[in-house]
Amino acid sequence: MLLIQAARAAAQVEYPQTTFQPVTEYGVLLNWLFMNTFWWTMSILVLVVGLTLAIAIRFRERPGDARPKAIHGHTGLELAWTILPALIVIAITIPTVKVVLQTQQKPPADALTIDVIGHQWWWEFRYPEYGVVTANQLWVPTGRPIHLSMHSADVIHSFWIPRFGGKRDVNPVPRSREGERDKRNHLQFTVKDTGSFMGQCAEFCGDSHALMMVSAMAVTPEYFKQWAAKMKPAMAQAVPVDPNATSVVQASNPINLAMPAPTGIGSPVRAEIPDSVWAAEGKKIFLGAQCIACHTIAGTSAAGVLGPSLTNFGLRPTVGAGVASSSLENVERWIHHPRSMKPGALMPGTMKGIDGGAAPTGLSDAQVHAVARYLKSLK
Q: What is the pLDDT of residues 180-224, one digit of tens each?
A: 556 788 999 999 989 989 898 999 998 889 889 898 999 999 999
- Residue 123, H or E segment: strand 122-127
Phi, psi of 12 (to 5 degrees): -75, -15
Report angle CA 29, 34, 35 to the nearest 5 degrees. 100
Mean local confidence (pLDDT), 140-167: 91
Output the pLDDT for position 5.
42
pLDDT (tens digit per residue) in 296-306: 888 888 888 88
pTM of the model: 0.74
pLDDT in tens, 48-84: 999 999 989 988 888 888 887 777 778 888 888 899 8
Query: Is the pLDDT score of 147 beyond 90?
Result: yes
Asked if residue 2 has pLDDT above 50, the reply is: no
What is the percent of the chain where pLDDT is above 70?
A: 81
DSSP 167-196: -EEEPBPPPP-TTPPP--EEEEE-B-S-EE
Can you list the pairs that 135-138 forms with residues at least 24 positions away whose Cβ atoms lie under 8 Å? Answer: 135/308, 135/309, 135/310, 135/321, 136/213, 136/214, 136/215, 136/308, 136/316, 136/318, 136/321, 136/322, 137/214, 137/215, 137/216, 137/217, 137/316, 138/114, 138/214, 138/215, 138/216, 138/217
Write down the pLDDT at residue 191: 93
Is pLDDT above 70 for 43? yes
